[in-house]
Amino acid sequence: MARQQPAQQAPPVQRLRIRYAKRGRLRFASHRDFARAFERALRRAGVPMAYSSGFSPHPRISYANAAPTGAASEAEYLEIALVRECDPAAVRDALDASLPAGLDVLDAVPARAGALADRLTGSRWRIEVSGVDEETLRDAVTAFLAADEVAVERMMKSGLRRFDARGPVVALEVRDGVLDLLVEHGTPLVRPDDVVQALGRVRPGVPEGLSARATRLRQGTLRDGELADPLA
Amino acid sequence: MTVVELAPASLFDRLEPLLARVNKPIQYIGGEVNSVVKDWERTEVRWALMYPDAYEVGQPNQGIAILYEILNERDWICAERTFSIWPDLEALMREEGIGQFTLDAHRPVRAFDVLGVSFSTELGYTNLLNAIDLAGMPLHAADRTAADPIVLAGGHAAFNPEPIADFIDGAILGDGEVASLQVSELIRSWKREGRPGGRDELLVRLATSGVAYVPRFYDVGYLPDGRIAEVVPNRPGVPSRVHKHTLMDLDDWPYPKAPLVPVAETVHERYSVEVFRGCTRGCRFCQAGMITRPVRERGITTIGTMVEGGLRATGLEEVGLLSLSSADHSEIAEITTQLADRYEGTNVSLSLPSTRVDAFNIDLANELSRNGRRSGLTFAPEGGSERMRRVINKMVTEDDLIRTVAAAFASGWRQVKLYFMCGLPTETDEDVLAIADLAARVIETGREVSGTRDIRCTVSIGGFVPKPHTPFQWAAQASAETIDDRLGKLRDRIRADRRHGRAIGMRYHDGKPGIVEGLLSRGDRRVGRVIEAVWRAGGIFDGWSEHFSYERWAACAAEALAGTGVDVDWYTTRERDGDEVLPWDHLDAGLDRDWLWEDWQDSVGEVEVDDCRWTPCYDCGVCPTMGTETQIGPTGQSLLPIVAVRQG
């Protein structure tokens, strides 16, 4: 007997783009952890999701550029496809209520033209570095910005990788002992802990990235040193 | 009234900087959907519930989930969860002086009244010791003070808690729903009275009420040859035998209703409903089937309500209909069909741990896979030869199995997985080699019926470990060498079969971990020294092959048991006589000892025993001793239709 093909799933009629935050303890959620929690929240909230067809249908969600495990964020983005037209504000509220506190849905708007990922070309981060005085930090930032290239290393799935952390940094400032970083997205993606590591390379005395606490404040299209709202 | 006890400070602020430095920190943060944080000062009795393994294994545990809800439903009880901590975080915590904590409010475990630990396997014992130590409590129950929680063991391993008798204050046998509330009430009254007699008095109350077995109130005497002479109470009023708890009417206890939804990845991600508890199929190797008698079904309408509510409360998409043999529910066809109807057109899927070999299960499996996913089916013949299956009372013939798989292959299934055991009593090489012949016949049948060569059969083989309170409690466990040798021969036989060998997959483990499990399963109080020595030598997470070390267990056992006249072989590969006092004889699962012995003799004589649900009672002893009875349907009721709220 031939194996029966599963029924085709209903096609999407609406796409919503969502901004969410990863706050407090939930900054320790990995991207996989978030994705699992989000898919369940969609079901608890009764969002009429579009599913892929085939033997194991999964909800149509496009994730873009997730913050690393341990980093907080006010600006994470994803896109979902629905089989029914819904009020975006109602979807936002229902999803927010269905997620654990700390994973907070902030905006939901109908998708504009172009891929969401293409609109996310830069990030602004706030990085609290503990165990170092402000003067040392300022010196390190000055030395870092003066350099053309600062090599750092990070363990990735493919093994230990060495790359430049200076090139993608558009701006870096110290305010009240806190770093304000504007970075352009590239490959590999330079993360806050890479920048902190780079500061230690140019100015010994700045501790390794482990003692830094980072929060992504904004993410968007990088133009003339500014980040444009990716949902606009 | 009790004095208000001030809430201990949360450990989270001290933990947080450490979490950035460890693997999978999400498992330590708590705060999951449906988790509960209570105001400490407004509660009178506080439980730290523990499953002694990592979060990913422990959180889906059904027993912990049930107790968490039942206890937290009472406004005067607070229940929080704690799991084993991986060595990376443990090392940092010990450096910083942070103790074992609960996930819900990150309170120190030591501040609770009870540390309740659920054991589904004995391999969690070293993790118990590690948690007690990490909590800052004295390892030995005898050294604990009023500042320490009482440590209570539950779960199937609690039916012989003797190997951990030195480390626990008590054990609860059987169903925990009512027992945990009885314990809570005893603690509440004792606290309200101003804790008269201190810790000792509380333990006396737990013991004399019969709710818990308190090992310290029993003295164990030994014969010169190392066997146990007697186990006798050493306190007035303490019962000479402690009985198990049996929950009657599962419809009154529809838990868990709203289990926690982990953000972290766990081993099971489904909403599970126990469709019945207990099993009287009478498989002689099966401890679960012996100690959870009688069969008590949950009614179809309760199951339907639980499934609907549970899915809504969790957002899960998979429903598991659990029990020891779910296809035996008197209305299983109605339940599966009506649930499949209800969720038709949604992405909710149903699953049944269906392991009995009969064609009826194929109908169920077809019903459960209406969406077209037909990858593999699992059956458990357990014994390779007809003779072996008679010995273990797994009443299924080879022809039954072939008829069943033929039906499966005809319905579009392409893969069959078969579970077996190796090292069963009276087993010979031929009994194990019969597994290869059976698998070959399955492949042959599949090819014939389906008309394709795209057929696979996986045989998965576990080493048999004799368990307390079963007819095999007297049996000699097969040595690791015997198991390894027989499985090697079986592997060669499968490889040599040129027509079928490549379609047969074989999964097995070496026999050594089974010997340690055997030592812990049928051990007595002297085995406690071995567990402690292993833990002191760094042994934890024994259920994980990358952490388990047979060599460490063997070396520690040799040292710790030196001078006792007994050794690992004595506990494992030695057959016991009928008159030997077994370490768990004073713990009552309801089974009549004489019946167990007769069933053991019947086993050797290859005599089968039928299920008492459909044939007359054969006097296993449980119902009259425990005042219980088999509760089965059919009820004749139907699920109420529920309008699907989801589309997709």
Q: Tell me: do A96 and A134 sit in the same domain.
A: no
H helix runs in B369-511, sequence order:
386-391, 398-410, 429-450, 480-496
DSSP string of B495-545, one letter each residue: HH-TTTGGGEEEEE--SHHHHHHHHHHS--TTHHHHHHHHHHTT---TTST
Superfamily of the domain at B270-515+590-626: tm_1862 like domain (3.80.30.20)
What's the sign of the alpha-carbon dihedral B218, B222, B228, B230? negative
The confidence score (pLDDT) of residue B648 equals 34
Domain boundary residue, one of A69, A93, A116: A116
Give me the helices (H) in A124-191, please: 134-146
By C-alpha distance, the chain B residue nearest A43 is B315
Domain assignment present for A168: yes
Estimate to the nearest angstrom the gap between the alpha carbon of B336 and the chain centroid: 25
Partner residue facing A5 (CB), from B26, B30, B372: B372
B367-426, pLDDT tens digit by residue? 887 765 666 788 999 999 999 999 999 988 999 999 999 988 988 889 999 999 999 999
Domain boundary among A92, A116, A140: A116
The pLDDT score that the predictor gives to residue B368 is: 80
Distance CA B504, CA B498 (A): 11
**Sign of the C-alpha dihedral computed for residues B82, B87, B91 and B94 taken in this order:** positive
Q: Is A207 on the interface with B (CB under 8 A)?
A: no
Asked if residue A88 and residue A20 are part of one domain, the reply reads: yes
CB-count exposure of residue B165 (10 Å: 0-12, 13-18, 19+): buried
pLDDT at B1 over 50: no
Q: Which of B15, B18, B263 to mutate to test the interface with A (most CBs of A within 10 A)?
A: B263
pLDDT of B348 reads 87
* pLDDT number for residue B359: 65
- A56–B373 C-beta distance less than 8 A: yes
What value does the mean pLDDT take over residues B429-447?
Answer: 97
How far apart are the CA of B351 and the nearest CA of chain A, in angstroms?
Answer: 15
Confidence at residue A5, expressed as pLDDT on a 0 to 100 scale:
63
Do A205 and A185 share a structural domain?
yes
In sequence order, the 6+-apart residues with CB closer than 8 A to the CB of A88 are A16, A108, A109, A110
pLDDT confidence bin for B45, thresholds 50/70/90: very high
Q: Tell me how far apart the terminal alpha carbons of chain B are, to the nearest angstrom.
A: 56
| A191 and A149 both lie in a single domain | yes
- Beta-carbon neighbour count of residue B616 at 10 Å? 7
Whether residue B3 is predicted with pLDDT greater than 70 in this model: the reply is no
**pLDDT tier, B645 (very low <50, low <70, confident <90, very high otherwise):** very low
> Model confidence over B64-73: pLDDT tens digits?
999 999 999 9
Residue with tokens 């000062």: B41
**Cα-atom radius of gyration of chain A, to the nearest Å?**
20
The reply to whether A151 and A206 lie within a common domain is: yes
Structure tokens at B620: 């296993």
- The B residues from 27 to 66 touching A (CB cutoff 8 Å) are 28-33
Regarding whether A127 and A105 lie in a shared domain, the answer is no
Predicted confidence (pLDDT) at residue B224 exceeds the cutoff of 60? yes
Say whether both A129 and A106 belong to one domain. no
In terms of domains, do A53 and A89 share one? Answer: yes
CA distances from B150 to B104, B153, B171, B266 (A): 20, 10, 11, 29
Cα dihedral sign for B542, B547, B549, B552?
A: negative
**Mean pLDDT estimate for chain B:** 94
Q: What CATH number is attached to the domain comprising A160?
A: 3.30.70
Residue A5 falls inside a structural domain: no
A124 and A90 in one domain?
no
Q: What string of DSSP letters covers B119-161?
A: -SSGGGHHHHHHHHHHTT--SSGGG--TTSPEEEEESGGGGS-
Whether B449 contacts chain A with CB within 8 A: no
Determine the 3-state secondary structure of A141 from DSSP: helix
Q: A169 is written with which tokens? A: 């940094």
What's residue B619's pLDDT? Answer: 94
Question: Are residues A56 and A96 part of one domain?
Answer: yes
**Using the beta-carbon criterion (under 8 Å), do B412 and A1 form an inter-chain contact?**
yes
Give per-residue pLDDT as tens, B127-137. Answer: 999 999 999 99
Domain-embedded: residue A108? yes
Q: Are residues A86 and A186 in the same domain?
A: no
Distance CA A18, CA B257 (A): 31
Query: What is the structure's pLDDT at B374?
Result: 65
CA dihedral B327, B331, B333, B339 (to 10 degrees): -110
Amino acid of residue B35: S
Q: How far B427 CA sits from the closest chain A CA (Å)?
A: 40
* CA distance, residue B215 to nearest chain A CA (Å): 41
The minimum CA-CA distance between A173 and chain B, rounded to whole Å, is 24
Residue listed under structure tokens 């409690």: B473
Q: Which residue in this structure is represented by tokens 């009372």?
A: B393
Total domains in chain A come to: 2
Domain ranges, ordered by start, for chain B: 12-224, 270-515+590-626
Helix/strand/coil for B452: coil
pLDDT band, residue B537 (cuts 50/70/90) = very high
CATH code for the domain of A23: 3.30.70.580
> In the prediction, which pLDDT does A1 show?
40
> Does domain B12-224 match CATH 3.40.50.280?
yes
Q: How confident is the model at residue B268 (pLDDT cuts 50, 70, 90)?
A: confident
In Å, how far are A33, A74, A77, A111, B123 from A17, measured between CA atoms? 20, 15, 7, 5, 48
Provide the token pair at B321. 């209909």
- Residue B446, phi-psi category: left (phi > 0), alpha (psi -120 to 50), beta (remainder): alpha
A34–B263 C-beta distance less than 8 A:
yes
Which amino acid, one-letter code, is at B460? S
Q: Does A68 touch chain B (CB under 8 A)?
A: no
User: Which residue does chain A place closest to B646, by CA atoms?
Assistant: A46
Coil, helix or strand at residue A47 = coil
| Chain A residues inside the 8 Å CB shell of B33 | 40, 44, 98-100
* Structural domain contains residue A1: no
Give B491-529 pLDDT, tens digit per residue: 999 999 999 999 999 999 899 999 999 999 999 999 999
Residues A137 and A174 in one domain: yes
Judge whether A2 lies within some domain.
Answer: no
Domain assignment present for residue A9? The answer is no
CA B583 to chain centre: 20
Cβ proximity of A3 and B373 under 8 Å: no
Mean pLDDT of the region B9-21:
93
- Asked which of A64, A81, A116 is the last residue of a domain, the reply is A116
Task: Give the gap in angstroms from C-alpha B159 to the nearest C-alpha of chain A.
Answer: 37
Question: Would you state the pLDDT for residue B377?
Answer: 85
Let me know if residue A8 belongs to a domain: no
Calculate mean pLDDT across residues B269-294.
Answer: 96
Which residues constitute the domain of residue A29? 14-116
pLDDT in single tens digits along all 232 residues of chain A: 445 566 778 889 999 999 999 999 999 999 999 999 999 899 889 899 999 888 778 899 999 899 999 999 999 999 999 999 999 999 999 999 999 889 999 999 999 988 999 999 999 999 998 888 889 999 999 999 999 999 999 988 889 999 999 999 999 999 988 999 999 999 999 999 999 999 999 988 787 655 679 999 999 999 999 999 999 8
Closest residue on chain A to B347 (Cα): A57
Q: Which of A151-160, B325-334, B360-369, B584-593 has the highest mean pLDDT?
A: B584-593
